[in-house]
Amino acid sequence: MSLTKEYRVIDIKGVGPALAEKLREAGFSTVESIAVTPARILAELLGISETRAIKITQNARELLGIKFMRLRLDHIKCIESSHISTGCVSLDDMLGGGVETGAVTEFVGEFGTGKTQLCHQLSVMVQLPVDRGGLEAGAVYIDTEGTFRPERIVQIASYRGIDPRKALKNIIYARAYNSDHQMLLIDEVRKFISEKNVKLLIVDSLVGHFRSEYPGREFLAVRQQKLNKHVHQLLEIADIFNIAVVVTNQVLAVPDTFFGNPLRPAGGNIVAHGCTYRIWLRKGKENTRLARIFDSPNHPEIEVVFKITENGIEDV
Ligand code: ADP
Ligand code: MG
């Protein structure tokens, strides 16, 4: 059930056929997506004045008749998010069913803890039918480190009973060569998310380029500024298109820690505040890995185990 009547973009006052087409190209295929986008961003994406963008977003909101109402239980469905199973029961249980649409999920860990493996796994899992934990949709994979392996997708897809050829075709891949390129790619992704039925966006890894291009304390301010913009791009995409965004993050050794964990996720407060769910990965015995949610007020800090095998990510 929907809270509002269905309107088309062309129904918005001040939007003619040409602008409607421009909006569609920029990824705005619904009145809702325009109503919730900040005017400044709309102006930037469409190359129109901010004054005009403000009018358009206002008119979109008016059209939707955003007003107060008494809520009933049957209103819940339309704001419900869905989950993409990780293919591993223990991880899914911890995450409340898998990685959530409309949210940004961050996997943090040292080298070799399985971050990239999880990204491969999820790009396949999202393709499964709903009753098997997927969303029958495709993935976009932004690879900043050059660690994506199509042959790994073939292995995982075969194990999950998906035609490997189809599995590969449903993953839209781009290598990001620097931080500006990485941000540009995200702007491009907006344009085809709806059309190509994408329900998962992966950035592996989030902070790498920013850290190497703006090293040390000297560049801290500009690095965090740019990173903030990037994180907001991702939050916005997750929110507007109701897709799952999954990012990976490196850990840094913090000198002079006498108590507690001497490792910290890269990206500081910007990444900490931007990511909806943060999962810390560490190595266990042999091919096992441990995962726990951290920084979350409404999740218990339990640790679950999974293993990395030929078939991908599995329960132990
Ligand atoms: P990172 O956290 O650095 O991204 P990865 O996701 O690349 O780590 O995980 C690398 C680990 O995944 C390797 O140590 C290896 O144990 C495991 N792995 C990768 N491919 C396979 C495979 N085909 N079969 C079994 N284990 C694998
Ligand atoms: Mg990796």
Specify whether the CB–CB gap between 74 and 1 falls below 8 A: yes
Query: Is residue 234 in some structural domain?
Result: yes
Is 111 a pocket residue for ligand 1 (Cβ < 6 Å)?
yes
| Shared domain check, 175 and 123 | yes
pLDDT, tens only, 169-194: 999 999 999 999 999 999 999 989 98
pLDDT of residue 51: 95
Task: Answer whether residue 17 shows pLDDT above 60.
Answer: yes
Integer CA distances (angstroms), 216 to 49, 204, 228, in order:
37, 22, 17
How far apart, in whole angstroms, are the C-alpha atoms of residue 93 and residue 246?
Answer: 17
Task: Report residue 39 as tokens.
Answer: 């005017």
Specify whether the CB–CB gap between 199 and 243 falls below 8 A: yes
| Shared domain check, 28 and 128 | no
Stronger pLDDT, 249 or 22, i.e. the higher one? 249
What are 263's strand-pairing partners? 253
Query: Is residue 273 in some structural domain?
Result: yes
Instruction: Report the pLDDT averaged over residues 67-86.
Output: 73
Query: Which structural domain, as residue segments, surrounds residue 22?
Result: 9-64
Instruction: Report the pLDDT averaged over residues 131-151.
Output: 98
Using a CB cutoff of 5 Å, list residues around ligand 2, an ion: 115-116, 147
The residue type found at 11 is: D
Which CATH number goes with the domain that contains 253?
3.40.50.300
Q: Ligand 1 pocket check: which of 107, 115, 117, 288 to mutate, most ligand atoms within 8 Å of Cβ?
A: 117
What are 14's strand-pairing partners? none
pLDDT of residue 1: 42
| Shared domain check, 268 and 151 | yes
Query: Is residue 209 in some structural domain?
Result: yes
Percent of the chain with pLDDT over 90: 69
Task: Answer whether residue 116 shows pLDDT above 80.
Answer: yes
Helix (H, G, I), strand (E, B) or coil at 253: strand
| Shared domain check, 235 and 120 | yes
- Ligand 2 center to 147 CA (angstroms): 6
Task: Answer whether residue 22 shows pLDDT above 70.
Answer: yes
- Ligand 1 center to 59 CA (angstroms): 50
Task: Supply the pTM of this predicted model.
Answer: 0.81
Helix (H, G, I), strand (E, B) or coil at 230: helix
